[in-house]
Chains A and B, each alone.
Chain A
Amino acid sequence: MSTRARAIAIGMFGPFVQGVGLLWVLANALLDSGRGLSLRYVSFDPAHLVLFVGILLSVVCLPIALEVAAAAPEDVELELFEPEAGSQPAPTPADEVGGAWEGVTE
């Protein structure tokens, strides 16, 4: 997947979730138009919450999309968080069990 395609996908998540939320709000309004619009209702209604999360995602994802668009292909490879060999502490019993787990999963 190219960095450009990744950037477009990242940038579209927020608006997509907003769209889902908006459709849900409109569907609720059509099906249950008699319901009053209080602050408590808007704060906990799933449709409004999805809309709010979509807005938040748009704000959070936009700078990431721009960074990814400008990045080299090797910059979008997944990060591994394994402790470095030199800085790894002596194995604990839990780590030894972890090693056994490794043998099972590979």
Chain B
Amino acid sequence: MIAAASFAPAVDVAGSLPYHQLHGYIPMPQQSHHLFGAGFLFVGVLLIVEALAGHVWHRNRLRTLIWPATIMVLGAGMLAVVALDPKDKLIHFTIGLIMLAAGWVEYRHRQREIPRRTADLWIVPALIAGGMEIGVFHFHGSFTSSGTVHILMGLTAALMAPVRVYQTRLLTSMPRHAFMGVMVIVLAFELLALGH
């Protein structure tokens, strides 16, 4: 509650951008969900490719960092959504911050600056919090197709937390690594299905 209150001025500033004047030039909320879905589909498949390629994938530093970088870019995109979409500003702002922070922690882990389990101390609760926000608070109590998809998205994001812990227990396991990629692809298709 305190954290939410402390973010309120930043959310208000972001939300005061001239949405109505820009309206013809920016994606509608449903369209921005589709763009995020495309982004998650891309990195989800690349996570599976990373699992299959092993050391070969990490011969190129750019490839090593593409996963945390994409999560951070998508987090920044979520903050842009706060600025452009007048609805659910606090939810989008918080999810954007969570994604930025989780991407940064994963980046530091991949730079060998922090151990995996330290990274998980942030990422696992972040996934649960993100799932709660999407599935519970973004749901708005409506069992329309959009409400149902938001519940599924929240469940998928929250389920990534135990998958992450399962993956950490045996870091050399290719199927466990690929499983996280599958979860990201499921999330991607849920985003792409919104409004259809």
Contacts and interface: CB of A to CB of B under 8 A. Distances in A.
Instruction: Tell me whether A and B are bound partners.
Output: yes
Interface of A: 1, 6, 9-10, 13, 17, 44-46, 49-50, 52-53, 56-57, 60-61, 64, 67-68, 71, 74-84, 87, 94-95, 97-99, 101-102, 105-106
Contact of B116 (A46, A64, A82, A87): A82
B171 A80 contact: yes
B167 to A, nearest CB: 10
A56 B117 CA distance: 33
Nearest to A101: B117
B62 to A, nearest CB: 11
Nearest to B177: A78
Nearest to A66: B56
A82 B46 CA distance: 21
A76 B55 contact: yes
B112 A76 contact: no
Contacts of B46: 57, 60
**Chain B, interface residues (CB within 8 Å), range:** 35 or more
Contacts of A82: 112, 115-116
A98 B192 CA distance: 36
Interface string B104-128: 0000011111111110110000000
Which 5 A-B residue pairs are closest in the complex by CB-CB distance? A44-B31, A76-B54, A46-B192, A49-B38, A98-B118
5 contacts: A6-B52, A46-B37, A50-B192, A78-B172, A98-B115
A63 to B, nearest CB: 9
A57 to B, nearest CB: 6
A105 B168 contact: yes
B49 interface: yes
Given A57-B45, A94-B118, A79 B37 contact: no
Contacts of B120: 98, 101
Contact of B53 (A10, A44, A102): A10
Given A1-B174, A46-B34, A97-B121, A53 B41 contact: yes
B147 interface: no
B118 A95 contact: yes
A53 B53 CA distance: 20
Contacts of A71: 55-56
Contacts of B20: none
A78 B51 contact: yes
A46, A74, A79: which has the most chain B beta carbons within 10 Å? Answer: A46
A44 B35 contact: yes
A83 B38 CA distance: 33
A6 B55 CA distance: 13
Contacts of B59: 67
B34 A44 contact: yes
B116 to A, nearest CB: 6
Interface in B25-84: 27-28, 31, 34-35, 37-38, 41-42, 45-46, 48-49, 51-59, 63-64
